[in-house]
Amino acid sequence: MGTYFTKEHEWVKVTEGIGSVGISEHAAHELGDITFVELPKIGTTVTQFGLLGSIESVKAASDIFAPVSGKVVKVNDALDTAPEVVNESAEDGGWMAQVEIADEAELKNLMTQAQYDDYLKTL
């Protein structure tokens, strides 16, 4: 179905009703060296644009917001010991959680890759 982005620089990649969630390469670059990722617990219900977790770097700490509503069905435990994977592969290996999407209509509230690229030019 594709990848969608939020204005807070989270992404969701949708496959068969499951959304893999992470932060964009832009966000990872802005944060600098990532030192800690707080992942949600499996089974947690999240709401669109509500708190999903947090991320800390040498520069700053910031919240991560859920791009879609649903239930967390999987988390990327590798980030507990290797948070730098987010720097190395923010939009692939550095995914943070997988969410069983409650309502795919919410994707309309997000940006496509092209819209996100245009948005970045305004920052």
Task: Report the alpha-carbon distance of residue 80 to residue 10 in Å, rounded.
Answer: 19
Residue type, 41: K
Its CATH class, for the domain covering 2-103, is mainly beta
Across the chain, mean pLDDT equals 97
Q: What is the pLDDT of residues 14-35, one digit of tens each?
A: 999 999 999 999 999 999 999 9
Task: Report the alpha-carbon distance of residue 74 to residue 20 in Å, rounded.
Answer: 9
Q: State mean pLDDT over 85-104.
A: 98
Q: State mean pLDDT over 69-91.
A: 98
User: In this structure, are strands 18-23 and 10-15 parallel, antiparallel, or unpaired?
Assistant: antiparallel
Nearest to residue 107, comparing CAs of 53, 52, 48?
48
Residue type, 19: G
Tell whether the model's pLDDT for residue 1 goes beyond 80.
no
Per-residue model confidence (pLDDT) at position 52? 98
pTM here is 0.96
